Amino acid sequence: MSQATSMALKVTLLGVVAAAIFTFALNATVPAGWYIAGSKPAEYEAGVDASAVHNDHSSAYLKSKHSAVDGFATLMQDFSADNYTGKRLRLSASVKAEGVRSWAGLWMRVDKQSTAVAFDNMQDRPITGTTDWQDYAVVLNVPQDATGIFFGVLLTGPGTVWLNGVKVEVVGSDVRTTGASAGTKKRRDQPANLDFTEQ
């Protein structure tokens, strides 16, 4: 084999290896079974962090690509509600955060077709700043006519969150729900704060 042929073969092999590595990197970015969504998903990245071990397992992460982000992203999944209708469902996980300037949280939503019928994203008890591993949970009722369940971790603005020990499980009625269910909020008897003087 001539030196020129040998060199051409090496270049070709390097190109194939580089292409394979690039393809693997694209496929390996988001953990299998998960996807990124949100108002600015392109401003975030996600993957598996083997150095962030908790509960004897590597963790998934969701991270802003830039120091300033106007929007949010979520690392999420969705599945059919068929096996969970009429039940109470708990999403639980351990989360740690670094440099979360706005807020982050676990979230879950139950839909009937294209309408949300139950939802909680922890906005009333947000994860902020830099924290070590902490356990969080979201609990929602799944109505009989529900069609889909969506869940994940969300990050608004810059920062990084790590996710570990995710569980989605049916719980008893003794476990309190954490979010809002359509039609469960009691209406006022009359209008209120029409002059905006109440804070």
> Parallel, antiparallel, or unpaired: how do β-strands 57-64 and 127-142 relate?
unpaired
> What are the boundaries of each domain within the chain?
1-30, 31-181
pLDDT digit string (tens) for 12-42?
A: 333 433 333 333 333 348 888 999 999 999 9
Regions of the chain with pLDDT less than 50? 1-28, 182-187
Helix (H, G, I), strand (E, B) or coil at 170: strand
Predicted TM-score of the model (pTM): 0.77
| pLDDT at residue 13, as a whole number | 35
Give the homologous superfamily in CATH for domain 31-181: Galactose-binding domain-like (2.60.120.260)
pLDDT at 190: 67
Give the sign of the dihedral formed by CA 128, CA 130, CA 131, CA 135: positive
